[in-house]
Structure 1
Amino acid sequence: MSFRELFLHWTYQAFAPGTLLRNKYNAFKELLRLDDRCLELIADLEEIHYGREHADWARVEWLCEELGRNLRGLIEQLQSMGPTRYMDLQDYFSKIHFYVRMAVTVPESEITPPFVFPLEEAHLHENQSGGKALHLARIARETDLPLPPAMVVAASTYHYFIEANELRPQLDARLRQIRLTDPAELAALADEMQLLIQEADMPEAIANEIEIAAMELGAGGRLLAVRSSAVAEDGEASFAGQYASQLNVAAADIVEAWKNVVASKYAPRALAYRIMHGLADAETPMAVLIMPMVDAACAGVVYTRDPERHDNLPAPDREHGVLAAYAVEGLGEALVDGSEAAHTALLSRRPQHRIIARKDDFPVPVPTLKRLAEHTMRLEALFGAPQDVEWVMDTRNRLYVVQSRAISTVDASPEEPFGPPDLPALLSATPAGAAALTAGTAQVIPQCSDIQNLPRGTVLVTRNLGPALSRVMDRLAAVVAERGSRASHFASVAREFGLPVIVEAEGCLDTIQHGSTITVDGLRGTVHTGKPDSLPEKTFVTPRPLGAMRRLGAAMPRIAKLNLTDPLADNFAPEFCRSMHDLVRFAHERGVEEMFTLVGRSGRGLAGARKLRTEVPISMYLLNLENGLFHSAAGKPEITPDDIRSVPMWALWFGLSSDRVQWPTHLRHMDWQEMDRISGGIISPDSPQLASYAVLSLTYMHMMMRLGYHFSIIDTLCGPDDRQNYIKFRFKGGGGRPEQRVLRLTFIERILTRFGFSVTTRGDMLDARHPAETDAVIQKRLALLGLLLARTRMMDMGLTRHDQIDEAEQAFMLDLDALENRE
C-alpha cells in the first residue's frame, strides 16, 4: 500500500470517519466477492486434480493465474480496511504464488534447428522427432528390416510455426474452454483451432526446407505420405489413430499437407485423448514424417502377441501365445479406422511360425506371411516387448514396416478373470477390446458422427469403430459394433482404457433395444440381457495422468490445503499461511473482524454494528448500510427483530425463527461474559469474532451465518425491480463424517431444486442461485432458506442412511406449509 493511500486513510479516520466506514464497507463487499471467486477457483482446480473434470492444461494454468489475480485483489481489499496491520501479507502471497507458478508452468518450447533431417538422424534429435520416427530410426539403425526412406520435419518446426503466427494465446484461449462433457462445444472449438492452423503462414525459410525434402523423396513425380510423429505419440500413451495422415501428396503440396497433419492435433478425438491422459498441448508438439507412397497390394497390422485368448490351441502355443496378422486389400486405412473387417491369420510365435489359422482369401502369400512374422518377432526382440506393427506389401510381394509400437495391453493371464454371466445371450461376436465384464444402458447410434451427449454408463451400439469414439471414452461402459477389427486404432485405445469392445456383431443394431440394460462380456465376445446381481458398477477411470497433470498433484498443497483452521489460534497469522486457501481464509476472517471492530469504535457515518437480541439462540450482529433498520432502533445498544426494516432480512428471519423449530434456548440463560471474565480471557462465545453477521439495506442483505461446524452465506437483492432480484446461497462444512455431510447436502439440494434454485455441489460445499423473480417470490424463498438453515443446523450428525432423506423431506414440507399458512 502506498504512502498516499495511508495518508488518506489516516485523514478519513481523523476528520471523516463516516467516509472511512463507507469505504471500508465497499472494500468489505468487494472482499466478499473476491473470497467467493477464490473458493470457486480452488474448487475447480480440485475437481480437475481428483479426476472429476477433464480439462486441458491451459485451463489449469489459467485457473491458477485467475486465482492469483483474485487473491491479490482480495488481499488489497483487506489492506485497505486495515492499512497498518497487513502490510506484509502481499509478500507471503508472492512467495506462495511463485511456487504454484513454478509447479504448473510447462517448460518453454525449444525452437532450434535443424528443422528437417533424415530419419536415420532422428536419434540425434530425440526431443524433436516424436515416438513414431524414433522407433523407425532405431529399426533402420539396428536392423536390416525393410523401411521406406523418410525425412523428419522436427517438432521445433511446429513451435516455430506457432510462435511466428502468434497462435499460442489464441489456442490457449480456446483450450481452456473445453469441456469433454459437451461434444458440440468441443467440436466447435476444435474447428476454430484447426482453422487457425490451416490459415496461418509457414515461414518461408522453413517452407523451403520442407519443399526440398519433399522434392528429393518425390523424385520422378512419386507421391508422398505425410504422417504424424508427435512427441508423446507411441510412448506411455499410444495416441493410436488420433492424428491424421495425408496420403498421395504431391511434392508441391507438401506444406499444406504438413499443416493438415498439424491441424489434426486439434481434432476433437485427439484433444479428448490428450486431455484424458493429462498432457499439455505444448508437451505434444507435432513432428511429421514424409515418406514415398508404397504401391500397396495389401496392408495391415501384426500383433506379435495376440491379446485375445486362444484356449483351444496346443499347450505350447497357449504358453508362448500366438501372433495375429490382419490385412486388407490396398492401403490399410480402412482397417485401422475400423470401417472394414480384416482378413485374419494366426501364426505360432515359435521359430518356423507354423500357420494356425488362415482363410483361403488372406491376401498375403504363405512365404511372405511367414517372412512378415519373422520381421515382427525381430521387432519384439529389438524393443523388448510385444509389438503392434503396421506393414505394407507392394505388388511385387515386397514387405515394408511403416510403424512399430508396444501393444497397449496384453492379457497374458492363463486364468479366466471371471465366469460367463448367467443371463440370456442376445448375440455372440468377436472380442476386440479389454477382457472385462460390464453392464450399462444401450444407446443404439448407427453412425459415430451422430454421437452427441452420452450419459455415463452407455453401452454404445454402432456400425463401426471410428477413432472419433475416443472423445466420448469417459462416458462409455462398452461398445458393440457391426464392423471393425481388433487391429483398429480404437480397439487399441479401448484396451488402454480397460473398455470392452465387441466387433463383427451382425444385426446388433436391430437385436439390441435402445435404452435397455445389457451386459457385455469382453472376454468371450457376448452380449446379454439385463445385469448380473453380483456385478459391481463400472468405475469410470482414465489412464494414469502423464506429463503436466502429474505436476498438479505437487502444486495442490500450495493451492488448496487448508492449514489455518482456528481463527483464535496463535498460528492464525500470515507467516503460517502455506497455501492460497490459507490466505483466502485469513483474509476473509480478518475482513469480518475489521468490519466489526471499526463499527464498534465509530459513532458517525453508517449505523454501528449492534447485537441482535432474540429468543433464538444465535449470536448475530447487524450492520445497517442504508435503511436496513427502522428509526425506532436509533440509540439502542441492542436491537430486536422488530427493529429490522430490511425486506430480505425480515423474510429470512421469518423462517429462521419459526415456531416449528425447537432451539435449545437453555443455553441463552448462561452468563457468557462473566464466564469469560473469570476464565482468564478465553474468548466469549458471544464475541463478534465467532458470531453470525448481516449487512443490511432496505432491499439488500449479505449474511454469513455460523451454526456449529458449518457456515452459510446468503447474498440477495429483493426489491421492486424484478430483473435485478436474485438469491445466492452457499453452504459448507459440518461436524459429521464426510458421508453424513454429503447426505445433508443431498437433502438441501432436493429442497432447493424443488423450489427453482439451480444447485451445484463440490465436495462438502453447495452453491445455489435463484434467478430473477418478483419480490414476493424472493421473500418466500428467503423464508424457506431461513427455515432450512434452522432445520439443518445439526442434521448431519443424525443422518446415516439415504432413506432418512425422504423422511426429512416430508417433515420439512409439513413445516413449510405451516410456515406459509401462519398468520
Structure 2
Amino acid sequence: MALLKYLQRLLGREQPSEPDPAELALEEELKVRLRERCARFRRLLSANKRALEAMSEVEDRLSGAKPFGMDYVHAVSTRAVTAVFQMVRDLNALSDNSYAALQESFDRIRAEMEILLEELPHLDGPLILHLDQIDLSDLTLVGGKMANLGEVAANAGLTVPDGFAVTVSAYYRFMEYNGLQQELNRRIQATDMQSLDQVFSLAAALQKAVLMAPLPPELEEAITEAVENMRAKAGPGLKLALRSSAVGEDSLGVSFAGQYRSELNVPPEEACEVWKEIIASKYAVTAMSYRYQHGIPDDAAPMCVGVLAMVPAAAGGVAYSRDPVAASRGREQILLNAVSGLPQAVVDGAVTPDVFIFSRKIPPELIRKRLAGPEGTPPSLTDKQAAELAKVAIALETYYTEPQDVEWALDAEDGRIVVLQSRPLHAADSATEQSHTDHQRPGEEGSEAFALEDLPQGLKVLAAGGVAVSPGVGMGPVFVARKEADMLSFPKGGILVVERALPRWAPLLSRAAGLVSETGGMAGHLASVAREYRLPAVFSLPDACLLLDKADEATLDARRCAVFAGRQPQLVSIEAEPPNLMEGSPVHQRLQALSQLMVPLNLLDPDAPEFAPDHCRTLHDITRFCHEKSVRLMFEEEDADASRRMGKQLKAGVKLQYWVVDMGGGFRHRVSGPVVDLEVIASAPMLALWDGMVAVPWAGPPAASASGFMTVMLESTMRPELESTAPNAMANKNFFLISDNYMILQARYGYHFCTVESLAGEKSHENFVNFQFKGGAADRKRRQLRARMVADLLEQHGFRADVKDDSVFAVAEGYSAPETLMKTRLLGYLLIHTRQVDMVMLETERATALKNKMLADMEALSAKPLMGCTL
C-alpha cells in the first residue's frame, strides 16, 4: 500500500528535474515487485495454455479416430491437473491468498478424477468350471467364448464339445504368484504402441516372461484333475483343443477375431504347458495392437482358456446367419463357408472355402453355391447337410435375437453339427457399402460376384476376381508382403497384398487403404477385422502377389473385385469417415468420464455472483476463474483506476489505448509523467510488435453480408475507436509489460482477446514468442474459421499452432533474437488485420481473397528489416 500511495503521489504532481534518491529507491523497489508479479503472471499464463491444450487434446481424442491407451489417459489427466494446480498456486500468491477456497474446489475435482483412474479390483472365483456349470451370467469369469458355449449347451438345445474353462481367477492367480502383472504393465506403458518395431520387441519380451513363469501348484493340480475326468469319460484316444476366451472378447463391441491363440490336437498331459502358451498369446503383436487400436487396456482383458474335447471333423467352417456385406444392401441371406476337415483353415484364411448361400425362409432354400476345389472334387458338405447348418444359424440368431457368427464342425462319427463358437456378427458398415450399389448387376446375389462394366474410360485393370469380403474403395501405393518382417516397411495408406489371409496381418489394417489376398473368404478372421476397420478388402484373388508385385499407385474397388492402375477418385461416390474404433471401449469410456471433470465450462460471466471458487465444478472452470482474476490483479489492482496508476499511457498517435508498465530497461530513460512517447520505448519485442501493428494501414472491418452482419453486435463491431487520451471501457484490457528484451501484451479488441509474449535475448534456446487468440462477435462457425485461418497463416511462418474451437495457441521457439523479433512483428500485423474478419468467413471467395492478401502482406513484412527494435 505504501508503494501504491507513493505511485499515486508520484504521478499526480509535477516532478522535480532531479528526483529525490529516496523516491528513486522506492521506484526501483516497485520495479522489483512488478518483475516478481509478472513472473508469477507469466507462469500462470503458461500453465493456462498447458491446461487448455490438454483439454483440447482430450476432446480431439474422444471425437477422432486416433487410438490411445490407459497410459495416455493417465498422462493427459496428470498434465491437466498439474497445470491447473500451478494456476491456483500462482493466483493465490498474486492475491495474498485471497482465493484459498479455490484450492478446496481443485482438491475435490482432483479426488474425483483419481477415483476414475483407479484400477478396479478383480473378484475371486473358482479356478475351474465345467461347461455344464457355465452360462452367460459367467461372462466376467470365463470370457465371452466359453460363456456363450455354455449358454448354447444349456439353453439353445444344440450340441457342443465336452470340456471346462480355466477361469479368469486362475489367470490372476498365475499373475500374482509370479509377480508378473506389475512388470508387464510397466513395459507396456513404456512402449510407443504405434511403433510396430517397438511392439515386436515388447511382444517377444512379454511372451517370454509368461512362458518362463511356473504355474501355482494348486492351479496345475486343478487343470490336471479336470483333464483326467474328461479322459475317463472319453477314453484313451482323447485329444484336446485349448481355445482363448478373454474377457471382453465379443462383448465390447469388437470381435477379437483371430487375435488370440488356439491349439488343436493337444495331448492331455500337455494341457498345463499349452495353457501358458494361450495366456502368452495375449501379448502377441496382433493382440496387443488390436486392443490398443480399440481402446481396451490390458487389465480389461484377462484371459480365460477353454479346454475342449476335439471333434473328429468331417467338415468345418463358419456360418453367418446373415451375409455381413449383402445385409447392408437389404438382401438378407445366410452365408456358409466350409472346408473338409477342421474349420481352422476357414477362420485362419489359409484356403478358399466352399460357399453356400441360403434364403432366410423357413426352411431355408439354397440360392447358389460356389465350390473351391477343382471340378470333380466332392464338396465339403452335401446340400442336405448345408441346409441343416443353415437351420442352426437361424436357431442361434433367434435365440440371441441378433445376427450370429457361428464356428462349427460336422462330427464324422454321427453326422451331427457341433457348435464350437457363437458370437455377434459384425456386418459391413452401410455407409461404406453405399458407394457401390450403383454398380450392381440386375439379379446379382450375395457378395461373391463382381462386375467391370460401366467403368469410366481409360482405366487399366491390374488384377480382377475373387471375393469382396469388405466393401469400399481404397487408393495408395501397392505393398506386397510375404513375411512377417515386411510389416515394418509397410507404408501408411498403402494397399496390402498377401498370399494368405492370415490373422498376423491384422496390425497393419489400421494403417492400410485396402487389402488383397490370394486365399481366404468372407468368414476368415482377417475378413472380420477388415470389416471392423471399414477397410476395402478382396480375398481369393488369383495370383494377386504376382500381378501386383511391380505396381505403384493403385485403386482397389472391392465391390468390383478389381485393382486399377493409379489413383481413381472418380470411383468413390461417397467418402466414408474412418471409424472411431475407440468409441464405447473401456479406455474411451474412462476418458469420457474424466473429460466431464475437465472440459465443460460453467463460469461464463465474470460479474455474476456465481463466478466464485465454490461454483467451480471442472478444471476448465478453475482455469477461467484464475485467468480472469489474475488479469484484474495485474492490471486493475485495487480499484478501476489502478491500472492507470501502475503504468504509463502510450502516446503514439493511434486511436486504441495502451498502457505500458516498465519492469526495468523497457524505457530509454526515466519517465516522470503519466504518458510515455513511443520514442522512449527501448523494449525490442514491443517495438517489433508495434512495427507490425502499424506496418500496413488497417482498412477497417470488411463489409459484411446481411447474414454476417446480423451475427455481430452492432455497438461492439461498428463503433469508432476512441482517441487514445479519452476514457475507454476497454482500456484496462490493453497492457504491455516490458523490459529490454521481453514483452507481454494483454489486449482486448472489441470481442476478441489476445495475449502476445516474446523473449528475444542472446541465448537462442531460451527465446520464444507465443500467441493466444480467442473470441469475436460473429457466430461460432465464423469464429472457428477465422481461428483456423490465423493458425494456417502462422504455420507458414514457422509457428506451431493449435486450434481449439475459436481459440488459437501458437508458439515459435528456439530462434535467434532477430528471427524471434521478426516473428513478433508478424503477430503485430495479425492483431490488427484479423479484427472483425470473422463476419465474412462463410463467404468462401472473400475469405480466400482476404487470406491471400494477409499472406502476401506477411511475406512482404518478412523481407523488410526491423525498424527501431535492434538489440
Task: Compute the TM-score of the two structures, normalised by the length of structure 1.
Answer: 0.82
The structure 1 residue matched to 2:346, chosen from 335, 342, 349, is 335
Displacement of 1:229:
0.9
Displacement of 1:489:
0.9
Displacement of 1:31:
1.9
Change (3 A) 1:348 1:418: closer
**SS in structure 2 opposite 1:667?**
coil
The structure 1 residue matched to 2:437, chosen from 418, 421, 428, is 418
Residue deviations 1:138-164, cap 9 Å, x none?
122235644332221222333444556
The answer to whether residue 478 in structure 2 is matched with residue 443 in structure 1 is yes
The answer to whether residue 112 in structure 2 is matched with residue 112 in structure 1 is no
Change (3 A) 1:325 1:342: closer
Displacement of 1:552:
4.5
The answer to whether residue 536 in structure 2 is matched with residue 500 in structure 1 is yes
Q: How does 1:343-382 map to 2 (within 5 A)?
A: 343-346=354-357, 350-351=362-363, 356-357=368-369, 359=371, 360-362=376-378, 364=380, 366=382, 372-373=389-390, 375-382=392-399
The answer to whether residue 765 in structure 2 is matched with residue 723 in structure 1 is yes
**Who is 2:681 aligned against?**
644
Residue deviations 1:97-131, cap 9 Å, x none?
445555x4477132312122212222263321111
The structure 2 residue matched to 1:139, chosen from 144, 147, 152, is 152
Residue deviations 1:674-720, cap 9 Å, x none?
x7xxxxxxxx2212xx33x4443433444444334444444443222
Q: Is the 8 A contact 1:422 1:532 kept in 2?
A: no
Q: Is the 8 A contact 2:125 2:141 kept in 1?
A: no
Q: How does 1:542-621 map to 2 (within 5 A)?
A: 542=580, 544-547=583-586, 549-550=588-589, 552-553=591-592, 555-597=594-636, 608-621=646-659
The structure 1 residue matched to 2:72, chosen from 59, 71, 89, is 59
The answer to whether residue 830 in structure 2 is matched with residue 788 in structure 1 is yes
The structure 2 residue matched to 1:325, chosen from 337, 341, 344, is 337
Displacement of 1:581:
0.6
**Who is 1:811 aligned against?**
856
Cα separation, 1, equivalents of 2:279 and 2:748: 55
Displacement of 1:814:
5.3
Change (3 A) 1:404 1:601: closer
The answer to whether residue 289 in structure 2 is matched with residue 288 in structure 1 is no
Displacement of 1:376:
4.4
Q: How does 1:172-187 map to 2 (within 5 A)?
A: 182-184=195-197, 187=200
Cα separation, 2, equivalents of 1:599 and 1:584: 22
Q: Is the 8 A contact 2:333 2:357 kept in 1?
A: no
Q: Is the 8 A contact 1:441 1:458 kept in 2?
A: yes
The structure 2 residue matched to 1:403, chosen from 417, 421, 439, is 421
**Who is 2:54 aligned against?**
41
Change (3 A) 1:757 1:515: farther
Displacement of 1:57:
3.8
Displacement of 1:507:
4.3
**SS in structure 2 opposite 1:657?**
helix
**Who is 1:668 aligned against?**
722
**SS in structure 2 opposite 1:727?**
strand
Moved more, 636-645 or 194-203: 194-203
Q: How does 1:17-166 map to 2 (within 5 A)?
A: 23-101=36-114, 104-105=116-117, 108-123=120-135, 125-142=138-155, 145-162=158-175
Q: How does 1:617-632 map to 2 (within 5 A)?
A: 617-630=655-668, 632=669
Displacement of 1:535:
1.3
CA RMSD after TM alignment: 4.2
Q: Is the 8 A contact 1:720 1:774 kept in 2?
A: yes
Seq. identity, %? 28
Which letter does structure 1 place at the counterpart of 2:167?
A
Q: Is the 8 A contact 1:337 1:465 kept in 2?
A: yes
Change (3 A) 1:286 1:299: same
Which letter does structure 1 place at the counterpart of 2:817?
D
Residue deviations 1:61-107, cap 9 Å, x none?
442344234323321221122234212112222334445555x4477
Displacement of 1:744:
3.4
Which letter does structure 2 place at the counterpart of 1:78?
L
Which letter does structure 1 place at the counterpart of 2:595?
M
Moved more, 59-68 or 359-368: 359-368
Change (3 A) 1:36 1:698: same
Q: How does 1:306-321 map to 2 (within 5 A)?
A: 306-307=323-324, 309=326, 321=333
Which letter does structure 2 place at the counterpart of 1:573?
A
Residue deviations 1:536-555, cap 9 Å, x none?
32211235524453464455
Which letter does structure 2 place at the counterpart of 1:629?
F
Cα separation, 1, equivalents of 2:774 and 2:353: 56
**Who is 1:3 aligned against?**
none
Change (3 A) 1:125 1:666: closer
**SS in structure 1 opposite 2:422?**
strand
Residue deviations 1:386-441, cap 9 Å, x none?
4322234566576543212232228999999721164347354234434x443533
Moved more, 556-565 or 702-711: 702-711
Change (3 A) 1:438 1:151: same
Change (3 A) 1:787 1:239: same
Structure 2, unmatched stretches of 5+, are: 1-25, 440-453, 702-718
Displacement of 1:39:
1.1
Displacement of 1:777:
2.2
Displacement of 1:230:
1.5
Change (3 A) 1:748 1:21: closer
Q: Is the 8 A contact 1:442 1:516 kept in 2?
A: yes
**Who is 1:487 aligned against?**
523
Q: Is the 8 A contact 2:405 2:422 kept in 1?
A: yes
- What is the number of equivalent residue pairs in this alignment? 783
Displacement of 1:590:
1.1
Q: Is the 8 A contact 2:338 2:380 kept in 1?
A: no
Displacement of 1:486:
0.8
Which letter does structure 1 place at the counterpart of 2:682?
R
Residue deviations 1:166-222, cap 9 Å, x none?
666665566667777654555555556556655666544444434544555578695
**Who is 2:6 aligned against?**
none
Displacement of 1:722:
2.8
Which letter does structure 1 place at the counterpart of 2:241?
A
Change (3 A) 1:494 1:252: same
